[in-house]
Amino acid sequence: MAVKCGSQSLGLACAALVSACAMAPIAPSVPPPSLQQQMEEGNAAWFLNAVSAVQLSFDQQQLQISVREQVTARSELVAIARRRLVGLVADGIASGSFDDARLGAALEEILTAAEQRGPAVIEALLRLHRGLTPAQRASVAGTVTAGISLQASQSGGEREQVQQRVNSLTASITLSEPQKAALKSDIIDVFRRYAPDLVEEADIRRQQLGKLAQAFASTYFEPTVASVSATSDLEAKSQRLIAFARTLSKILTPEQRVQAAAALRQRASPD
- Of 13-27, 37-51, 175-189, 252-266, minimum mean pLDDT range: 13-27
Confidence band for 147, pLDDT divided at 50, 70 and 90: confident
Model pLDDT, residue 162: 65
Q: Is 184 part of any domain?
A: yes
**What's the rounded Cα separation, in Å, for the pair 89 and 237?**
13
Give me the mean pLDDT over the 186-204 stretch. Answer: 73
Is residue 71 within 8 A of residue 44, CB to CB? The reply is: yes
**Measuring CA to CA, which residue among 54, 62, 41 is closest to residue 127?**
62
**What's the rounded Cα separation, in Å, for the pair 219 and 202?**
27
Model pLDDT, residue 72: 86
**In the predicted structure, residue 159 carries a pLDDT above the cut 80:** no
Q: Is 149 part of any domain?
A: yes
The string over 28-48, giving b where at least 16 C-beta atoms fall within 10 Å of a residue's C-beta and e elsewhere, is: eebebbeeebbbbbbbbbbbb
Q: Is 23 part of any domain?
A: no
Give me the mean pLDDT over the 247-266 stretch. Answer: 92
Q: Is 257 part of any domain?
A: yes
The domain tally of the chain equals 1
- Of 27-41, 51-65, 83-97, 176-190, minimum mean pLDDT range: 27-41
Instruction: Give whichever of 92-106, 116-130, 210-224 has the largest mean pLDDT.
Output: 92-106
The string over 183-197, giving b where at least 16 C-beta atoms fall within 10 Å of a residue's C-beta and e elsewhere, is: beebbeebbeebeee
Model pLDDT, residue 13: 44
Q: Is 123 part of any domain?
A: yes
Q: Is 84 part of any domain?
A: yes
Confidence band for 270, pLDDT divided at 50, 70 and 90: low
Q: Is 157 part of any domain?
A: yes
Q: Is 7 part of any domain?
A: no
Residue 263 phi, psi (nearest 5) = -65, -40
- Residue ranges making up the domain that contains 124: 33-268
